[in-house]
Amino acid sequence: MSDQEKSGMSRRDLMAKIGMLLNGAAVVILATPVIGYLLAPIVRGDGGRYRKWIDLGELDEFPEGQTRLAKYKNPISNPWDGETDNIPCWVRRVEGEKFQVFAINCAHLGCPVRWFPQSSLFMCPCHGGVYYQDGSRASGPPPRGLFEYPYKVEGGRLMIEAGQLPTLSTSASLRARSNGCQG
Ligand code: FES
């Protein structure tokens, strides 16, 4: 084998190794965000959810036996979110420190439901879904009752656990029930 052939081989080897290195670097660059996304829930140890207890206000703001609209600032927010940062929810004070805090979104396709004190019903303007005052389904297309936030009373103030809208997947409703709510 001539010197020229030897140097040709080594150049090819070198080029092949550089190519492999560049491929490896490209794989790392492309895979890092994907792996980070997949591992983030494990690293954070919160199951991928970002939840936070939010102060909804003093108990006096929610008279017993009434349902009132409240708003809270989304704990997961961006500077450009603007008004959408303020998330409404329905607060029903059953009695004493027993509450139900409902997501405003209909359990059918998510339209905001409205409370009608005259009939003690929540109604959805989109497809006519109706809910009783305890959030349970009364009629229409919704497959279930309204979703509920977990809540607690602390220092005379009503707190809800927010940061992820309550849905079936969060099992927030189940935990709300464990606080003594019905629904
Ligand atoms: S979104 Fe409420 S009934 Fe369809």
Check which CATH number belongs to the domain holding 95 and give it. 2.102.10.10
Buried-exposed string 29-52: b where 16+ CB fall within 10 A, e elsewhere: eeeeeeeeeeeeeeeeeeeeeebe
Ligand 1 atom at minimal distance to the Cα of residue 109: 1
Question: Across 19-28, 31-40, 173-182, which has the greatest mean pLDDT?
Answer: 19-28
DSSP codes joined into one string, 50-61: --EEEEEEEGGG
More confident position, 83 or 152? 152
Same domain, 133 and 151: yes
- Domain encompassing residue 149: 52-178
170 inside domain: yes
Indicate the range of 27-31, 128-132, 156-160 predicted with least confidence: 27-31
Could you read off the pLDDT of 135-147 as tens digits, one per residue? Answer: 999 999 999 999 9
Same domain, 89 and 22: no
24 inside domain: yes
Same domain, 72 and 102: yes
92 inside domain: yes
pLDDT band at 3 (very low <50, low <70, confident <90, very high): low
Our mutation pick for probing the ligand 1 site, out of 102, 104, 109, 123, counting the most ligand atoms within 8 A of Cβ, is 109
Q: How far apart are the CA of 111 and the centre of ligand 1, in A?
A: 6
Ligand 1 atom at minimal distance to the Cα of residue 128: 3
The percentage of residues in the chain with a pLDDT greater than 90, rounded to a whole number, is: 52
76 inside domain: yes
More confident position, 92 or 5? 92
What pLDDT is recorded for position 112? 96
Could you read off the pLDDT of 40-74 as tens digits, one per residue? Answer: 444 444 544 567 899 999 999 999 999 999 999 88
pLDDT over threshold 70, residue 130 = yes
Same domain, 37 and 89: no
183 inside domain: no
Same domain, 60 and 95: yes
Same domain, 100 and 168: yes
With a 6 Å cutoff on the Cβ, whether 109 touches ligand 1 is yes
What pLDDT is recorded for position 167? 61
Same domain, 31 and 92: no
Tell me the residue type at 109: L
CA dist list (Å): 81 to 56, 73, 84, 163:
20, 11, 6, 14
Global pTM? Answer: 0.66
Same domain, 59 and 123: yes
Same domain, 41 and 60: no
* Cα–chain center distance at 26: 34
Return d(Cα 26, Cα 108) in angstroms, integer.
Answer: 44
Same domain, 22 and 66: no
Same domain, 65 and 41: no
Q: How many domains does the structure of the chain reveal?
A: 2
Our mutation pick for probing the ligand 1 site, out of 106, 121, 122, counting the most ligand atoms within 8 A of Cβ, is 106
The strand order across the sheet containing 86-95 reads 67-73, 86-95, 98-103
Same domain, 40 and 58: no
